[in-house]
């Protein structure tokens, strides 16, 4: 994630963009050493924060979420027209 770059898009795109967010629940939970939450929880919170910021600024966006156990590559291929 390039927070500075994406932040600039959130603020300075002239509201001409369409933001596409693809999120995925991993199959295994990996704890963050010294914390009470997993990397998946951290990444999900960051994605939700980006989504909320875009929505609050009136940006056009769509989110595709792929659940754990689904074939990630196959799910993404379904989003691409043949």
pLDDT digits (tens, 9 = 90+) for 16-51: 888 899 999 999 999 999 999 999 999 999 999 889
- Neighbouring residues of 16: CB distance < 8 A, sequence distance ≥ 6: none
Map tokens 């990397």 to a residue. Answer: 39
Residues 35-43: contacts with CB under 8 Å, at least 24 apart: none
| Interatomic CA distance for residues 72 and 64, integer angstroms | 11
Mean pLDDT of 57-61: 90
> Number of folded domains in the chain?
1
Query: Could you list the residue range(s) of the whole structural domain that residue 14 is in?
Result: 3-79
Stated pTM of the model: 0.77
Q: Among candidates 10, 14, 11, which has minimal Cα distance to 61?
A: 10
């Amino acid at each position: 994630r390039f927070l500075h770059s994406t932040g600039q898009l959130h603020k300075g795109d002239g509201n001409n963009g369409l933001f596409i967010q693809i999120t995925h629940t991993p199959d295994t939970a990996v704890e963050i050493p010294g914390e009470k939450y997993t990397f998946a929880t951290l990444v999900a919170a960051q994605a939700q924060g980006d989504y909320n910021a875009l929505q609050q600024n009136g940006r056009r966006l769509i989110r595709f979420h792929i659940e754990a156990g689904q074939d990630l590559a196959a799910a993404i291929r379904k989003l691409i027209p043949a």
